[in-house]
A = this chain, B = another copy of it.
Amino acid sequence: MNIDQVLDNIYPLPDTSKRALKENIEEVNYPKGLILLCADKIEKNLYFIKKGIVRAYSQAAANEITFWFGKEGDTVISMKSYVAHQKGYEDIELLEDCELYELKTKNLQKLFEEYIDIANWGRKFAEQELVKTEERLISRQFRTATERYKKLLKDNPDLIQRVQLGHIASYLGITQVSLSRIRADIK
């Protein structure tokens, strides 16, 4: 997935502003297991995934909770750092070796002030993420764990192949043991 596809996927940009945006983007590679973004600092970069898969998780009390997966074409960002310039609530871990496009938050902020198309591109990005998050919140309330798992299977069949079930369980809001039971029941 090349950078043009990633950017256009959010919102098609006219040439001039897309060029300006791309001038600030650099390709980087990182190994599986790396913690790309850290909960307890204000992150300076954001990333687009060219290849690979990552998870965002939040650490509390005893257990950690995976609440987001990103794969090819997705944007990796510490939302709270980015929005409120405060420490985030999430760590982001690479679950495979990853090829990423890196963009400095500071530069993006500058582009938002200069290019109205990039400002609207950033708006579209936030809006789309918001709809996705709201839909997940609602589905959490509506659906049983079994239904949520089935829906994930249907919508993201590759995720189950590429990611440990423990993380999937956490993402679904249940324990790994409970997910195992559900999988056994379905068969």
Contacts and interface: CB of A to CB of B under 8 A. Distances in A.
A11 B141 CA distance: 31
Given A83-B131, A119-B120, A123-B126, 16 more contacts: A58-B142, A67-B137, A67-B138, A67-B141, A79-B127, A79-B130, A83-B124, A83-B130, A84-B128, A89-B135, A116-B116, A122-B123, A130-B130, A133-B134, A133-B137, A141-B173
Interface residues of A, number: 37
B137 A82 contact: no
Tallying the copies of this chain within the complex gives 2
A106 interface: no
A60 interface: yes
A128 B83 contact: yes
